[in-house]
Amino acid sequence: MKQAAQTARKLRATHVTLAHGGGGKAMRDLIEDVFTSRFKPDGAEDQARLEPGALAQEGAKLAFTTDSFVVYPLEFPGGDIGRISVCGTVNDLAVGGATPLWLSASFILEEGIEVDLLRRVVDSMCKAADEAGVKIVTGDTKVVERGSADKLFITTSGVGVIPSGRNLSATSVREGDVAIVSGLLGDHGATILAARGDLAINADIRSDGQPLGELMDAVINAAPNLRCSRDATRGGLASALNEIAEASAVSILIDETLLPLRKEVRGVCEILGLDPLYLANEGALVVFAPESEANAALEAMRSVKAGKNAAIIGHAKSGIAGRVEMKTIFGGARIVEMLVGEQLPRIC
């Protein structure tokens, strides 16, 4: 604590200036005060040196992913850009069957951003990393002129390890496999829309941003023949299902009455003419399991906090390859197409 306090006194500025990106003492003070004092990377080199012990198991494979986050507003009920930058990257690893281990974080700062805002974002990232059991081991910081960005952009990359014999793939779904979602849908997209304040929407909704590694471990242990998993981020559940249907050359049928949705999310969508199937999620995924293991997978999800609202929503079937259909609450059916553009800009 004494060390952290001494480091904190180095930075006296309340807002970031171009000098903080110039490579000199001002930049070093910013990095040591705001970033490394919290992330605590090993050493001060320009690269992270990862322990090879994670690959000791014969047949284990490395998984690597990267993503950029440009959400607006930067802070919103249930999270902020820092939290989703960690959760989003961790979840991209977890849904592929990997155990997330290490993250890098790169920051694009706009001249004039408040230092206190940066501190809150970094603290949020640290908390999310602790929840996910990962370590932020390296990163980078750049400062751009006022007007060249929107306060803060973050790019995170993640490395994980896939144990031997684990092979989840969107090409593996077969007729009869059961579709299960891990929780409530559309919370993140609806939260961001309400938080912008443009439409005077007053809804009690919070982002669902959370790491899903523990949930995936529970599901894989309960359903060892799990076919595939996708986190339903941009494009929502509809886009994830279309990608799986196309990759596996199957048809997928879901039931609208089975979709886990908050009444507040339904209300926002009805008022604005949005489809909740396309709303982004930051803490929900969809898996396909063999019918014989579906109930075990469902119960495993519900045994974990992140999956307490899990639900079976449909199945893969014969029919037109790549098509996703939904049985509606009125008893009919409609095609659920891939989102052409984006319902909401800058949601993650």
Look at residue 156 and tell me whether its pLDDT is greater than 50: yes
- CB within 8 Å of 45: residues ≥ 6 apart: none
Amino acid 4: pLDDT: 42
Look at residue 2 and tell me whether its pLDDT is greater than 80: no
Amino acid 9: pLDDT: 52
What is the set of domains in the chain, with CATH numbers? 7-42+57-162 (3.30.1330.10), 178-335 (3.90.650.10)
- Residue 327 burial class via C-beta count within 10 angstroms: exposed 0-12, middle 13-18, buried 19 and up: middle
In the predicted model, what is the mean pLDDT of residues 112-118? Answer: 97
- CB within 8 Å of 221: residues ≥ 6 apart: 300
What predicted TM-score, i.e. pTM, was given to this entire model? Answer: 0.91
Residue 301 near residue 182, CB atoms below 8 Å: yes
Amino acid 48: pLDDT: 84
Separation between Cα atoms, residue 116 and residue 122, nearest integer Å = 10
Q: What's the pLDDT band for 278 if we cut at 50, 70, 90?
A: very high
Question: Between 5 and 203, whose confidence is greater?
Answer: 203
| pLDDT, mean over the chain | 91
Q: What's the pLDDT band for 44 if we cut at 50, 70, 90?
A: low
- CB within 8 Å of 342: residues ≥ 6 apart: 234, 235
Tokens at residue 180, please?
């299960």
Q: Where are the alpha helices (DSSP H) in the chain?
A: 2-8, 25-30, 37-39, 81-94, 115-132, 187-196, 213-222, 236-248, 263-272, 294-302
